[in-house]
Amino acid sequence: MSRLQESLKKGTFTITGEIGPPKGVDLTHCWGEVEYIKDRVVAINVTDNQSSVMRISSQSICSLLVQKKLEPILQITCRDRNRLAIQGDILGAYAQGIRNILALTGDHTTAGDHPGSKPVFDLDSVSLLTAMSTMKDGKDLAGQELEGVPSDIFCGAIVTPGADPVEMQLIKMERKIEAGAQFFQTQAIYDPKVFEAFMKGASRFKVPVLCGIVIIKSAGMANYMNNFVPGVIVPDGMIQPLKDASKEDRPKKSIELMAEFIREIRPMCQGLHIMAMGWEKYVPELLDMCEL
């Protein structure tokens, strides 16, 4: 059982973080981000060509994290590989000691830096979860027996609490659970009332939910998310204080706003997923303010 699974099973309020692999082989900055958060999180997500931008593979960074005695969450998107490659990657990750896998459909290739690349989408997030569940039972998607069973993969998925209508998200969530999802990390959410309404609907599933936040660095970043990130709304009550703050005071104000939100939603969910987006150095301060 992974440390992440064990923490959630015990009912401990569980915190995960996230890093984005570099576009190249210099890992200096990547390990610098890890240093800031490694002692404050149970596990670290490693993104998989996030936003369809080519980067060093998630699996390679996850394997190196295992070597450093840290616990990764491997993100697998369905955009770039067919079911042959994905199942091979799952087995390869398991052989390298990686136990947590987050299933994602993935952004279309036209959103990234190789818009001419061919999207695959042989599977989606639900059928990827089905593939992992099938493999945990000892067979591949073709029904062939596996030589050695990856029985303790801990399967995760995402959900968007701020989507409208929220009922569609709950239907998708239920489908993912039926396919094998054992925990959820949410897309970024900033309105406690919206999150509370979502959790009232999601609580019937009895599956751990980690509330996701992207640390908002500026009013401009908040406005961009409101305009271009579906299902994510940053309320004016967060935007205006950031707009009013000086450039020097903005990080402090941002962390205060994030801490206030976390304290309010903490009783509603089973944990927190922090996407620091380059502000990993502020994560310890943020968690200290929340007494986490």
CB 101 within 8 A of CB 156: yes
Phi-psi region of 24 (alpha: psi -120 to 50; beta: other; left: phi over 0): left
Q: Where are the beta strands (DSSP E) in the chain?
A: 14-19, 43-46, 72-77, 100-104, 154-159, 183-188, 209-214, 271-275
pTM of the model: 0.96
- 292 residues of the chain, pLDDT tens digit each: 999 999 999 999 999 999 999 999 999 999 999 999 999 999 999 999 999 999 999 999 999 999 999 999 999 999 999 999 999 999 999 999 999 999 999 999 999 999 999 999 999 999 999 999 999 999 999 999 999 999 999 999 999 999 989 999 999 999 999 999 999 999 999 999 999 999 999 999 999 999 999 999 999 999 999 999 989 999 999 999 999 999 999 999 999 999 999 999 999 999 999 999 999 999 999 999 999 9
Q: Which domain holds residue 26?
A: 3-289
| Residue 97 pLDDT | 98
How many separate domains does the chain show? 1
Q: The domain that contains 144 carries what CATH number?
A: 3.20.20.220
* SS3 state at 58: helix
